[in-house]
Structure 1
Amino acid sequence: MLKRPLALFAGLVLSCSSYLAQAADTLRVSAIPDEAPTELLRKFKPLGEYLEQKLGMKVEFVPVADYPAVVESLVANKLDMAWLGGFTFVQVHLKDPTATPLVQREQDAKFTSKFITANSNVKSLADLKGKTFAFGSISSTSGSLMPRYFMLKDGIKPETYFSRVAYSGAHDATAAWVQAGKADGGVLNASVWEKLVASGKVDTSKVKVFATTPSYFDYNWTVRGSLDPALKDKIKQAFLDLDPAKPGDKAILDLQAASRFIETSPDNYKGIEEAARAAELLK
C-alpha cells in the first residue's frame, strides 16, 4: 500500500531536483514592460547571447505582464536579474534590501522625461489645463512618477488639473495615443521618444515636445539578493566590458540605447524614493 505514495514522493523529489538543477544553470532575466513585448525581446536577444558567452551558462528572457509582476518575481527569486526603472528598483529594494543594482547606462544618471502634444496651440502645461493627459504605467519612473513629482512641485495635481488622466501602460503607447488624439498631452521617457523619432514611428509634423523635466536617476540592471556573489561580479563585469569601439559590442549597446554601462548603487535612488513618497505612491 505504501509503494504508490513512495513512488509519487520519489517522483516529486526527482522533479524538484531536476527543476533546481536547471534553474541553477540558467540565468532568468526579465524587464519592466515599458515597451511592446516584441520590442523588448528584439532588444534583449543579442545581449542575452553575449551574456551566455561571458557567463558560460544559459540566459533566458522571461516576459512579464506588468511592472508589479517584475517586482514580485525578483523578490520571490523567480527571476535572477531584471531591467528596472528607478521606481521599480525602490519597490524591490524596500521588499528585499539585499537586492543589488549592478549597472546603469551612462545617461541613466541624468535621465529626463518629455511632455508631448499634437495640439499646435499647446506651448506649456498651462495650455493643457482642463484637457486630457496620458501617463505610461503608474509604476513607471519616467512615464509617471517623476513627471508627476515635478508637476506637484509646480502646484499641479494631475487629477484635478486635467479633465481626464489615463495610463497607456508603456512609453510607445503614450506617443501613439497623443498622435492619434486619444489624449491632448502625455509624457514619456526621453530615450524612447528619441528612438521613436529616429525610427519614424512618431510623426514629428504632428507630435511635438513642449517641455522636458529636470534630470533624475533612472534605469538599472538589478539582481536578486540571494544570487551567488561570484556570479554577480561576473555579470557586472560583462556589462562593464561592453566596448563601443568594438562593432559587435556597439550593436548591443545601441539596442540598449546605451553609450556604455557604469556601476551604480542603491544610494543613487534615494531621491526616487523621496519623490514616490511625496507623490503618495509609497506609504
Structure 2
Amino acid sequence: MKCSPLTLVKSLMAASLLFAAAQAPAQQVLRVSAIPDEAPTELQRKFKPLGEYLEKKLNMKVEFTPVTDYAASVEGLINHKLDMVWFGGFTFVQAKDRSKGQVVPLVQRAEDEKFRSVFVTTSKTINKLDDLKGKTLSFGSESSTSGHLMPRSFLLAAKINPDTDLKRIAFSGAHDATVAAVAGGKVDAGALNISVWEKLVAEKKVDPAAVRVFYTTPGYYDYNWTVRADMNPELKKKITDAFLALDASKPEDKAILDLQRASKFIPTKAENYTAIEAAAVNAGLLKK
C-alpha cells in the first residue's frame, strides 16, 4: 500500500519530532546560582561537589553562574536565565512578588527552619541592642534576610530605628565583609548570618575574643532552593528527591552537607515565608 506524499511528510515530521524529544534531555543544562552573600570564590567552592552530585542524580549538566548582586539572582530566575537559585528568605519573597507567585521553593536546610542572626562588636560599651544608639552599624546586603531585613526588624521591635537612632549605617554587601568591617574598626558593630559567623570562628578567620557576639535574634525561616513554577514537574521532583536523599551518615554526602552547613535538607513551601514578607512590609523594604 502506497503512502500519499502528504502522509509521508507527516510521518517524517512526526518521526523527527520524536527524535528531537528523545535527544532533548541529554542536551539540557540546569543553570544554577546563589545570592552573593559570601565571596564569589567561596560560593563556587561550596557548590562544586553539590553540582557534581546533582549531575549524577539528574543525568544532566549542572552549571553554576555567579551573579553580581541579590537583584540579579531574582531577575535571572524570573527572566529564564537561571533555572534554580539559592535564595535567602527575603530574596525569595522579592522573587515571588516580582514574578507574581511564579516561583516555588523546593527545599531548605533543617537549620533554616529556625535561622538566626547575630550582632557583633569590638566595643566594650556595646552589650545590648539599646547600646547601639548613636553608634555606627554595618548590615550585609540591602536584600539580605539575615544580614539586613531581620536584624532591622528586631531593632525596630526594640524601638530602635536604625535610620534615625544610629549615627550611621552601612551595607558591606556580604556577611564576611561585615565581620571584616567590625574587626577593622570601620564600624562599631555589625549584623550577620549566624552560620557564616560560626564558620569564620571555626576556620579561625576571626578572633571571638576581639570580635564578640552581643545579641542573637530569635529564630525565623530563611534560605531555600527555588525554581520557577513552570519547570517540568518531573525535573522538579528529581531535584527535590536528590536534595532529600543526601545522608550525613555517608561520607561523600556528609562532605556536601558540611560545605552547605546543613545537617540535612527538608521540603519547604512558600507559606513558610509569610512572616518574612510581613517583616519586609513593616520595615518599609517591600511595598504592597
Fold match by TM threshold 0.5? yes
Q: Is the 8 A contact 1:132 1:162 kept in 2?
A: yes
CA–CA distance in 2 between the matches of 1:174 and 1:202?
A: 12
Unaligned runs of 5+ residues in structure 2 are 1-19
- 2:266 aligns with 262
Match of 1:90 among 70, 90, 93: 93
Residues 78-114 of structure 1 deviation map (CA, whole Å, 9 limit, x = unaligned): 1000000000000111122131100000010000000
SS in 2 for 1:214: coil
CA–CA distance in 2 between the matches of 1:53 and 1:208?
A: 42
CA–CA distance in 1 between the matches of 2:25 and 2:121?
A: 48
- What's the Cα RMSD here? 1.4
- 2:75 aligns with 72
Q: Is the 8 A contact 1:79 1:224 kept in 2?
A: no
Q: Which moved more, 1:237-246 or 1:156-165?
A: 156-165
Identity of aligned residues (%): 63
- 2:51 aligns with 48
SS in 2 for 1:145: helix
In the alignment, structure 1 residue 133 sits paired with structure 2 residue 137: yes
CA–CA distance in 2 between the matches of 1:151 and 1:93?
A: 26
SS in 2 for 1:120: coil
CA–CA distance in 2 between the matches of 1:62 and 1:48?
A: 11
One-letter amino acid of the structure 2 residue matched with residue 95 of structure 1: R
- 2:123 aligns with 119
Deviation at 1:186, TM superposition (A): 0.6
CA–CA distance in 1 between the matches of 2:59 and 2:26?
A: 14
Taking structure 1 as the reference length, what is the TM-score of the superposition?
A: 0.91
- 1:158 aligns with 162
Taking structure 1 as reference, are residues 177 and 22 closer, same or farther at Cα in structure 2, changes over 3 Å only?
Answer: farther
Unaligned runs of 5+ residues in structure 1 are 1-16
Taking structure 2 as the reference length, what is the TM-score of the superposition?
A: 0.90
SS in 1 for 2:126: coil
CA–CA distance in 2 between the matches of 1:193 and 1:225?
A: 33
Match of 2:33 among 23, 30, 33: 30
- 1:249 aligns with 253
Residues 7-26 of structure 1 deviation map (CA, whole Å, 9 limit, x = unaligned): xxxxxxxxxx9xxx699610
One-letter amino acid of the structure 2 residue matched with residue 228 of structure 1: N
Match of 1:224 among 195, 218, 228: 228
Q: Which moved more, 1:218-227 or 1:123-132?
A: 123-132
Q: Which moved more, 1:257-266 or 1:113-122?
A: 113-122
